[in-house]
Structure 1
């Protein structure tokens, strides 16, 4: 593993993966927000996600729930994503692409603000960091599949319109968003493999 791809002590991701993930995730959150307001109907609902509306008079945002590839649960809000998989829960806030470990049962779709998701902190142990990386790769897989579906079933014209409405230019064109997330999933999983390789015991002379 080259120095530029090394994982700082206690960190979940290398700096370059976190930086690129931050840019992509910001675009994804923008596009998901646009999809909710699509003039032809809520694209998230068309994709099969289940909406839990914000109660009248309550602060926050509605929640949308779907399934990750391993059968785990994904909850999306405008402020981030919660992945629940294999007994672990991680919250990925919209700003920073720094996944947080969620302790306790958490509120899931009953949360409508980031502070209501649960008690969250940095992953501190090796098993926690591995679980967070696995969940983050599953989130990247889901976003890759979702963007491929949008391009195919909703149309690239819609996604291009979403990106054109942003103030900041997207790091990827509409037709490359799915592939960009697939590459991100590979990079996150490669990080985990690299960490395990560097921490494996040495054998022989």
Structure 2
């Protein structure tokens, strides 16, 4: 991670929230990849996401598109997630859990370099939008994991986690709850930042 990205990350989220988000997101990306290859059928398609297949001869990865809980658009690849909501586009890379502001976002891309012009968030409104995007992504993953546990079965998710080289920090039955808690922590960070930035009165 570059010094600028590291500084941006520190101003967005507390270290413990970023660390826990990074670990959870790594598990989520692994599980989503396994879901695509589920022997009983592509779980992402069963959940209603739409696959935009990589054309023959084109480098990159297929994209899966769905809707965030607020109606915004979510695009998933093996290299990260793009959340487009409320006029903002936030890309969350697979490594680091540090959202990047995206200009001219392209959910139809197949390579990370084609997603759009990515940069660190630079202003207060952009930082708030980035945290909101992370929270919406966490909300979606919480709902998705709850659906997997209910409709696909915990046995499948346990099988996915068992196939990882590194043990998951969260058991299969707690993944949905872990994402809900992370969403709360991200939103709480935003509330604390706004409180600290508020002008003092009565001094």
Normalised TM-score (structure 1): 0.94
Counterpart of 2:21?
Answer: 21
SS in 2 for 1:81: strand
Q: Deviations over 1:97-130 (max 9, x none)?
A: 0000001x2221x200110100001101000000
Counterpart of 2:164?
Answer: 166
* Alignment map for 1:2-151 (pairs within 5 Å): 11-103=11-103, 105-108=104-107, 110-151=108-149
4+ long deviations beyond 2 Å: 7-10
Report the aligned-residue RMSD: 1.3
Aligned residues: 197
In the alignment, is the contact (CA less than 8 A) between 1:13 and 1:188 conserved in 2? Answer: yes
SS in 2 for 1:56: coil
SS in 2 for 1:71: coil
Counterpart of 1:204?
Answer: 202
Structure 2 CA distance for partners of 1:168 and 1:155, relative to 1, 3 Å? same
Q: Unaligned stretches of 5+ in structure 1?
A: 1-6
Normalised TM-score (structure 2): 0.95
SS in 1 for 2:56: coil
